[in-house]
Homo-oligomer: A and B are copies of this chain.
Amino acid sequence: MNQNRKGLLLVVSGPAGVGKGTINNTLIERNSDIRMSVSATTRAPRPGEIDGVHYFFKTEAEFEKMIAEGAFLEYMRVFDLHYYGTPKSFVEQELSEGRSVILEIDVHGAMRVKAAYPDAVLIFIAPPSMSELKSRLIHRGTESSEVIERRFETAYQELEFVKQYDYVVVNDILDLAIARTEQIISAERCRVYRNGEMIEKLQGGRNAL
C-alpha cells in the first residue's frame, strides 16, 4: 500500500502584506498536484485582472443563481455590496482527481469552509511581528496610507481567529515559510484518519496470506 496521496482542501489565510500570495504561488509552481481555487465575485475587474484567472467575474443575477443552485463551497456579501464565493465544482473535481486545492480566503471564509469540510486543513500565515507587517504594507507602496491603516486594523481582527486554525506559519524568511507549508501538506497526508483504507487493507492482509 502507498501512503495516502488524496487531495487535501487547504485554506491559507493571513493579513494583507504577510506574503501569503507569494507562498501560494510558489507552492503551485513547484507542485503539479496543488492548484489554486479561483473565487467568483460580483465586483468589477480591476485593471489587469483576467476573468477565470484572478476571479470569475459574475453579475449579481448570475451569482445569486449559483447560490440558489448550491454551487458555492462558501460565499459572503461584503458590506451589503459585492458577493465573493468559492465555486464548488472546481474544488471537488480537483480533489476527486487526487490534487490538492488552496483556497486563499479570509478568516470568515475559512470558518465557513471548516464548518462545511471538517477535513480541510487551515493554515494561517503570520508576520514575525506587527511592526514588520506594517513595514511590509508601507513598502509595497500600492495603497494609500488610509488603506494601509485600515488593513493594519483588520490584521488585528484576523488574529482573533488564529486559534481556530490548525497551523500557524510565521513568514519570517520566505523560503522557510514555504518549506513549512509544504511540510504541513506532506504531514497531513500521513494523518491516521486520512489513511483508514490503507490500514484496513493491512489488517485484511491476514486472509490474503
Contact = CB atoms under 8 A, between A and B. Distances in A.
Nearest to A182: B183
Contacts of A205: 129-131
A203 B172 CA distance: 17
A209 B131 CA distance: 7
Interface in A147-169: 156, 159-160, 162-163, 165-169
Q: This chain: how many copies in the complex? A: 2
Given A184-B190, A192-B166, A126 B209 contact: no
A207 to B, nearest CB: 10
A144 interface: no
Interface in A104-129: 123-124, 126-129
Contacts of A203: 156, 159-160
20 contacts: A1-B170, A3-B169, A3-B170, A123-B190, A126-B202, A156-B206, A159-B199, A159-B203, A160-B203, A162-B199, A163-B193, A163-B196, A166-B191, A166-B192, A167-B187, A167-B190, A167-B191, A170-B198, A182-B183, A183-B187
